[in-house]
Amino acid sequence: MDSQTASAVQNDESIQREIERHFTWNFVVNTLDGLFFWGGGSFITASTILPLYIHHLTDSRLLIGLIATISSSGWMLPQVFTAHYAQRLPQKKKMVVHIGFFTERLPLFFLPISVYLFSTNRPKLALWSFFVLYTWHTVGAGSVGPAWQDMIGKIFPVNWRGRFFGTSNFVGSAVGIVTASFAAYFLHHFAYPLNFTYCFAAAAIGIFLSWVAISLTREPVVPVRAAPLSYRAYSQELWRILHDDNNFRRFISQQILSRLGYMSNGFIAVYALERWHVSESTAALYAPAMLMAQMGANILFGWLADQRGHKIVLEIATLSALLSIIAAWAGPTPIWLFFSFVGLGVSTAGYILSGLMIVLEFSQPDERPAYIGLANTLRSFGSAAAPLIGGIIAQQFGYTALFGSTLPFIIVAFIMLHWFIQEPRTHSMAPST
């Protein structure tokens, strides 16, 4: 072993010791990040609260579907473009904290102001300001997404990532149940638009506190050993990954299909208003039902992912999404919509936990940001198209046709996942860390 190699090994051991020394601290502060993020986010859920607000401003189902498009694809789409920058950083936290404050957190403080000032007197301005600010928030979150996921992959070993994410999301969902109940209280006890003003202000405060928590992360500085790639070389590297890694390429295709199977999710709460004439405060209670299911699923999925890998978690999540749509489509009474949101909560837990963490196991550490950015940006096309297609179907043919149209996508997505994709942790190309 030459001196350069010996120095690299010694440096790796020093970094590993630092990771182990700060493991408990990082587990706690990043769990707090999840707690505050989920707690704040329950006041602006894209499946319940936001569609109810937009329903006050417009009767366009296409614009209601646009909320889900922005919520998912806005986070995913920019990542392949920012992953190149994140890959060159010896410490990812700086991008997550310093850039993330302005790109992700700041716009939420303007949102309740725009609701209060414009919702009653200038509804069109309120509508456009909402979409501008919400897009700023989601795209801004996505811009720091590769750095955040890579930071999590660095500070938590592979056999702890599932339990960390499960615990973080469990605690966040538990708090989200309480805060979602406050959202229902606001919607019921305060007149429009003050009710939504309070909801959005609470969201801004909670998500700001999550930024405070994540800023306390103790991430080791890991020198980037490879020479920085030009954007042209980086693009060629992305094409090489897609060409050479067949299992990863099939996974991306499956993920796009599964996103198309989510085209009706953002319409279920509005469907309850129009089909069953439930009150807004009752519709807001669908969020706690969803979060309770999500909370329980997170603990189970975190343990299952660490023991058996993320593929089986995604399979269960896909089946839960299927049952959720069937409950909304075929349920004879509005009470069935609670079962629909329970299924949606279980599937959301699986997709968030294992959909994010499985990507880390397809790649070696030096390539992680490229894999993260590539995976999230490509599956964003399905996420972007699904709600818009769903909005068109709902507008032209009604909600029954919308729910029926989603089923083939979910069924085919499950078949691909179960029979055509190998668990990357046990696949011959998968790294062990």
| In a domain? residue 282 | yes
pLDDT in tens, 340-368: 999 999 999 999 899 999 999 998 887 88
Q: Residue 154 sits in a domain of what CATH number?
A: 1.20.1250.20
Written as six digits, the tokens of 311 are: 């593929």
pTM: predicted TM-score of the whole model, two decimal places: 0.80
pLDDT the model gives residue 226: 65
Cβ atoms 340, 333 nearer than 8 A: no
| In a domain? residue 171 | yes
| In a domain? residue 427 | no
Range of the domain at 196: 13-215+230-420
| In a domain? residue 369 | yes
3-state SS track over the chain: CCHHHHHHHHHHHHHHHHHHHCHHHHHHHHHHHHHHHHHHHHHHCCCCHHHHHHHHHCCCHHHHHHHHHHHHHHHHCCHHHHHHHHHCCCCCHHHHHHHHHHHHHHHHHHHHHHHHHHCCCCHHHHHHHHHHHHHHHHHHHHHCHHHHHHHHHHHCCHHHHHHHHHHHHHHHHHHHHHHHHHHHHHHHHCCCCHHHHHHHHHHHHHHHHHHHHHCCCCCCCCCCCCCCCCHHHHHHHHHHHHHHCHHHHHHHHHHHHHHHCCCCHHHHHHHHHHHHCCCHHHHHCHHHHHHHHHHHHHHHHHHHHHHHCCHHHHHHHHHHHHHHHHHHHHCCCCCHHHHHHHHHHHHHHHHHHHHHHHHHCCCCHHHHHHHHHHHHHHHHHHHHHHHHHHHHHHHHHCHHHHHHHHHHHHHHHHHHHHHHCCCCCCCCCCCCC
| In a domain? residue 222 | no
| In a domain? residue 6 | no
Q: How many CA atoms lie less than 13 Å away from 175 in the CB half-sphere?
A: 22
pLDDT the model gives residue 240: 94
Q: How far is the C-alpha of 324 from the C-alpha of 347, rounded, in Å?
A: 9
**Dihedral of the CA atoms 183, 189, 191, 194 (nearest 10)?**
-40
Q: How many CA atoms lie less than 13 Å away from 200 in the CB half-sphere?
A: 25
Written as six digits, the tokens of 69 are: 């498009």
Tens digit of pLDDT per residue, the chain (433 long)? 444 444 444 467 888 889 999 999 999 999 999 999 989 998 998 877 899 899 899 988 888 888 888 887 888 889 998 998 888 888 999 999 999 999 999 999 999 999 999 999 999 999 999 999 999 999 999 999 999 999 999 999 888 999 998 999 889 878 888 888 888 889 989 999 999 999 999 999 999 999 999 999 999 988 776 666 778 888 899 999 999 999 999 999 999 999 898 888 878 877 887 888 777 777 777 877 887 898 889 889 999 999 999 999 999 999 999 999 999 888 888 888 899 999 999 999 999 899 999 999 998 887 888 999 999 999 988 888 888 898 889 889 998 899 999 999 999 999 999 999 999 988 744 444 4
Spatial CB neighbours of 225, under 8 Å, sequence gap ≥ 6: 8, 366
Spatial CB neighbours of 254, under 8 Å, sequence gap ≥ 6: 413, 416, 417, 420, 421
pLDDT in tens, 260-307: 988 888 788 778 878 887 777 777 778 778 878 988 898 899 999 999
Q: How far is the C-alpha of 209 from the C-alpha of 155, rounded, in Å?
A: 21
Q: How far is the C-alpha of 141 from the C-alpha of 320, rounded, in Å?
A: 27
Q: How far is the C-alpha of 424 from the C-alpha of 161, rounded, in Å?
A: 15
How many domains would you assign to the chain? Answer: 1
| In a domain? residue 19 | yes
Cβ atoms 180, 284 nearer than 8 A: yes
Environment class of residue 240 by beta-carbon count within 10 Å: exposed (0-12), middle (13-18) or buried (19+)? exposed
pLDDT the model gives residue 16: 86
| In a domain? residue 220 | no
